[in-house]
Chains A and B, each alone.
Chain A
Amino acid sequence: KQEVTQIPAALSVPEGENLVLNCSFTDSAIYNLQWFRQDPGKGLTSLLLIQSSQREQTSGRLNASLDKSSGRSTLYIAASQPGDSATYLCAVDNAGNMLTFGGGTRLMVKP
């Protein structure tokens, strides 16, 4: 059974810092990996989707990498802003649209 772990569970940084969120998974036979953002009281917004054949995806200040063989993914946020404060979740797809989620990293960016 796939297990997804995210470290750290919470992170507080000053505005402007570059930061890295980590995600690890136990079963490397995945179709893809997604990073989501969740704001309080809201649903999830998909930020980046990396197919199993890809190594990374970029969108603006966000860059996600995937190392399938080691079961790891990182989400890099450049020049963090207070508006980036949210919970970030990674999810892996093992069987076609069957997402397994990590517990999330709660990020706070202080002005």
Chain B
Amino acid sequence: DAGVIQSPRHEVTEMGQEVTLRCKPISGHDYLFWYRQTMMRGLELLIYFNNNVPIDDSGMPEDRFSAKMPNASFSTLKIQPSEPRDSAVYFCASSPILQGKEHFGDGTRLSIL
């Protein structure tokens, strides 16, 4: 299997622009997670899905952030409008079962100027 695939790997944009991050989970994994990693706050869970349904979005920092999973093989994390403090590495992960090992993508390094 190709593992969890994220795109783009790097994104640089100006504040106020819309940013869309994409994730393809491992086939057959029912759980999908979005994380954010910064030097100051470490790794934080933003939201997770089970069978394409958002289960807990309590980690989403603001209404500017939204996530969707239209089907089992694709998810997006959108920031609109973006701000410099959103600069971070965003990871997507998937897992086949609840409380199982999570498989991470290589992340999207986002820089908002």
The residues of A with any CB-CB pair to B shorter than 8 Å are: 31-32, 34, 41-46, 49, 89, 91, 93, 96-104
A79 CB, min distance to chain B CBs, angstroms: 25
By a beta-carbon cutoff of 8 Å, the part of chain B in contact with chain A is: 4, 31, 33, 42-45, 48, 56, 91, 93, 95, 98-107
How many Å from the CB of B51 to the closest CB on chain A?
13
Q: By the criterion CB–CB under 8 Å, are B42 and A43 in contact?
A: no
List chain B residues, Cβ under 8 A from A46: 101-103
B interface SS class: strand
- What would 19 A/B residue contacts be, using CB atoms closer than 8 Å? A32-B99, A34-B102, A42-B106, A43-B104, A43-B105, A44-B43, A44-B91, A44-B93, A45-B104, A49-B101, A91-B43, A97-B48, A97-B95, A97-B98, A97-B99, A98-B48, A98-B56, A101-B42, A104-B42
